[in-house]
Structure 1
Amino acid sequence: MTVTSLPGVRLRRVTVDGTGLNVATAGSGPAVLLLHGFPHTWRLWTEVIGPLARRYRVIAPDLRGFGDSDRPADGYDAATLAADAAGLLEALDAGPAAVVGIDLGTPPAFLLAMRRPGLVRRLVLMESLLGDLPGAEEFLAAGPPWWFGFHAVPGLAESVLVGHEEAYVDWFLRRGTLGRGVRPDVRAEFVRAYTGGEALRAAFGPYRALPAGARQIREAVSGARLTMPALTLGAHPVGRSLERQLRPYADRLTGHVIPDCGHIIPLDRPEALLAVLEPFLAAEDDDRE
Structure 2
Amino acid sequence: MVTTWRTLLPDVPDRPLTLRRIATNGIHVTVATAGTGSPVVLLHGFPHTWQLWREVIGPLATRHRVIAPDLRGLGASSRAADGYDAGTLAADVAGILDAMGESSAAVVAIDAAVPAAVLLALRQPDRVHRLVVMESLLGTLPGAEDFLAAGPPWWFGFHAVPGLAETVLIGHEAQYIDWFLHMGTLGRGVPAEVRKAFIDAYTGSDALRCAFSYYRALPASARQIRDAVARGGLVMPTLAIGAHPVGNALERQLRPVAADLTGHLIPDCGHIIPLDRPKELLDLLMPFTAV
TM-score bucket (shorter structure)? over 0.9
Structure 2 residue 98 is matched with structure 1 residue 78: no
Deviation at 1:280, TM superposition (A): 1.0
**Equivalent position SS for 1:132:** coil
Q: Distance in 1 between matches of 2:161 and 2:25?
A: 27
Name the aligned partner's letter for residue 61 of structure 2.
Answer: A
Q: Distance in 1 between matches of 2:214 and 2:39?
A: 25
**What number of residue pairs does the alignment pair up?**
283
Residue in 1 aligned with 2:280?
A: 272
Deviation at 1:276, TM superposition (A): 1.0
Residue in 2 aligned with 1:287?
A: none
Name the aligned partner's letter for residue 8 of structure 2.
Answer: L
CA-atom RMSD in angstroms: 0.7
- 5 Å matches for 1:1-289? 1-4=2-5, 5-7=7-9, 8-282=16-290, 284=291
Q: Distance in 2 between matches of 1:85 and 1:29?
A: 19
Runs of 4+ in 1 over 4 A off after TM superposition: none
**Equivalent position SS for 1:249:** coil
Q: Distance in 1 between matches of 2:132 and 2:144?
A: 18
Q: Distance in 2 between matches of 1:13 and 1:84?
A: 13
Q: Distance in 2 between matches of 1:9 and 1:166?
A: 27
Q: Distance in 1 between matches of 2:63 and 2:266?
A: 23
**Equivalent position SS for 1:58:** strand
Q: Is the 8 A contact 1:26 1:53 kept in 2?
A: yes
Q: Distance in 1 between matches of 2:287 and 2:28?
A: 33
Query: Deviations along 1:136-174, whole A, 9 cap, x unmatched?
Result: 000000000000000001100000001000000000000
Q: Distance in 2 between matches of 1:252 and 1:85?
A: 23
Name the aligned partner's letter for residue 163 of structure 1.
Answer: G
Deviation at 1:95, TM superposition (A): 2.6
> Which runs of 5 or more residues in structure 2 are unaligned?
10-15
Deviation at 1:175, TM superposition (A): 0.2
Q: Is the 8 A contact 1:31 1:95 kept in 2?
A: no
TM-score when normalising by structure 2: 0.96
**Equivalent position SS for 2:256:** helix
Q: Percentage identity across aligned positions?
A: 67
**Equivalent position SS for 1:68:** coil
Q: Is the 8 A contact 1:21 1:61 kept in 2?
A: yes
Query: Deviations along 1:97-154, whole A, 9 cap, x unmatched?
Result: 0000100010000001011111111000000000010000000000000000000011
**Equivalent position SS for 1:23:** strand
> Which runs of 5 or more residues in structure 1 are unaligned?
285-289
Name the aligned partner's letter for residue 18 of structure 1.
Answer: G
Q: Distance in 2 between matches of 1:210 and 1:68?
A: 23
TM-score when normalising by structure 1: 0.97
Deviation at 1:279, TM superposition (A): 1.2
